[in-house]
Amino acid sequence: MRDTISWPPRGTSRRGVGFWGIVLLTVLITVATFSTAAFGSGVSPGPPSVVPASPTGKAEAVAVGATGRGMLDGAPQSVGTGLRLMVAADLPVLLDVDSGRTTPIVGLPHGDGQLHHVLRVGNNSVIISSRTCDGCRPTGRAFVLQGRTAVPLGSAWSVAPSLDGQGVWMLAHAGDDRCTLSEMGLDGVLRHPARPIDCRAQLRKETPAGILVDLPADGYQPPDSALLDPETGEAVGRYPPIEAMTEHVTLTESGAGSEPPVAGEYGRFALMDLLSGTRDLLPWPSRLAWTGEAAEDPTGRFLAVEFVDPSHGPGQLMDVWVLDTEARRWLQLPQMPTYTDLKRTSMAWTTDGRLVMLGTFDGLGDAVVTWGAGEGHLSYSRVDLPDARGDASLVVLPTREASAAAR
């Protein structure tokens, strides 16, 4: 899931949730071909295409399993997924994927200008409800889900999970152009008192190295990233845009290479091991020039990164690749790239290692699409997504939470 929750939610780099306005850029995309050397002819089940780290910078991106039509053609789910999701909408809902049943969440504000976003915090789910209007200061509140009821935590415009999964960091307006940063436990008990913070900051998540935030850059450039000291709120370092950060590794855009990128070009990403300090340069695997959402699996080994083109011929393109941080190689999902409605797509990992994508896809319509590591195909379940003026987001509900919500 997105590890950034803030508004406005879209931007040049469609990473996390605190996105700035997307810059439209049409880029060339290669015609998808099959990989016969590694997997044989055709598209029989097997791993997706692989782009390894390359000291020569000559790794190639080969799209395996794509239809050539930009549409998903995976297989319908043959067995129950067992998935229950919380989905952001004009009024967020709990979605049982197998039955298609939706249950509205109660206790949230609603009306014109009200936007909602959801995020996973430990084994809990948090909702951010924000309101925007012309000529007024935006307002927001954070809620924790209990059963099917949203319980208020406090005012917040941008929210990030605490390191221990038992609280959230909240950025709130304090009047005029002043903002504050505080930490609130999910039990409603204040953990760190409010201190000043730049109102333009977009909170991502707390890590062992500090609170990861995005800070605006000049013009249409992607935001810089920074780490804040949880005790003081002061920045302890500022970095190139961080796509994803786990307990042990950080994936950043290195800033090298041409624009738009060439698939397999050396030096477009840097993967740093936070324990050893080693830094590996990785190729940019996709033909699409912009990054979108990034999601880490529960083990921290796999990072799913979405590459996007918001204006590609007849529609919008997404291309999802998974980085194996141990093997230092990219794996392209089958049937990628595909046309989709970028505002209505989101992804998250389950605790058993499945990548879940929710969205509106050409060829499928509204659907929940799943992929497991090593699978050569996507599986899908068609659903009816609720209306949403804001961007899509989802939380995969843990079993105990899903059970409580169903009662």
Short-list 344, 309, 300, CA closest to 3: 300
Calculate the average pLDDT of the chain.
77
Per-residue pLDDT at 52:
54
Q: What is the mean pLDDT of residues 284-293?
A: 89
The pLDDT confidence band at residue 131, using thresholds 50, 70 and 90, is confident
Give the Cα separation of 281 and 260 in Å (integer): 18
Residues 256 and 284: their CA atoms lie apart, in Å, by 10
**Cβ atoms < 10 Å from Cβ of 234:** 10
Contacts of 287 by beta carbon, 8 Å cutoff, 6+ apart:
27, 28, 29, 30, 61, 260, 261, 263, 319, 337
Q: What would you measure as the largest C-alpha separation in the chain, in angstroms? A: 63
CA distance 168 to 203: 10
41-45, 289-293, 341-345, 392-396: lowest mean pLDDT where?
A: 41-45
Q: What is the pLDDT of residue 62?
A: 31
When pLDDT is cut at 50, 70 and 90, the band that residue 70 belongs to is low
pLDDT value at position 219? 63
Residue-wise pLDDT for 293-348, tens only, equals 999 998 989 999 999 998 877 789 999 999 999 999 999 999 899 999 898 899 99
Q: Residue 171's pLDDT band (boundaries 50, 70, 90)?
A: very high
pTM above 0.85, yes or no: no
What is the domain partition of the chain in residue ranges?
5-406
The pair phi, psi for residue 164, each rounded to 5°, is -85, 0
- Would you state the pLDDT for residue 366? 92
**How do strand 167-173 and strand 50-52 relate by DSSP bridges?**
unpaired
Considering only residues 54 and 314, tell me which one the structure prediction assigns the higher pLDDT: 314
Average pLDDT over residues 218-247: 84
Contact in structure between 347 and 320 (CB atoms under 8 Å) = yes
Q: Summarize the confidence of residues 114-141 as an average pLDDT.
A: 86
* Torsional class of 268: left (φ above 0), alpha (ψ -120 to 50), beta (otherwise): alpha
Residue 392 pLDDT greater than 80, yes or no: no
* Report for 12-21, 254-263, 288-297: range of highest mean pLDDT: 288-297
> Model confidence at 254, in pLDDT bands (50, 70, 90)?
confident
Q: How confident is the model at residue 266 (pLDDT cuts 50, 70, 90)?
A: very low
Mean pLDDT of 72-90: 81
263 has pLDDT over 70: no
Q: What is the second-level CATH architecture of the domain 5-406?
A: 7 Propeller (2.130)
Alpha-carbon torsion 225, 198, 181, 150, what sign? negative
> What is the pLDDT averaged over residues 58-79?
49
Please state, in angstroms and rounded to a whole number, the distance separating the CA atoms of residues 244 and 171. 21
Which comes out higher in pLDDT, residue 332 or 253?
A: 332
pLDDT of residue 237: 84
How sure is the predictor about 241, in pLDDT bands with cuts at 50, 70 and 90?
confident
What pLDDT is recorded for position 151?
Answer: 97
On the 0-12 / 13-18 / 19+ scale of CB atoms within 10 A, 405 is buried
Residue 157 pLDDT > 80, yes or no?
yes
Comparing 40 with 86, the larger pLDDT belongs to: 86
**Residue 188 pLDDT greater than 90, yes or no:** yes
What 187-191 contacts at long range (C-beta under 8 Å, 24+ apart), as own/partner pairs, is: 188/151, 188/153, 191/162, 191/167
Q: Pick the range with the lowest mean pLDDT from 11-15, 126-130, 214-218, 293-297.
A: 11-15
The residue-averaged pLDDT of 52-63 equals 36
**Under 8 Å between Cβ of 311 and 239:** no
**Following CA atoms 245, 3, 305, 357 in sequence, which dihedral angle do they give, to the nearest 10 degrees?**
150
What value does the mean pLDDT take over residues 201-223?
Answer: 84
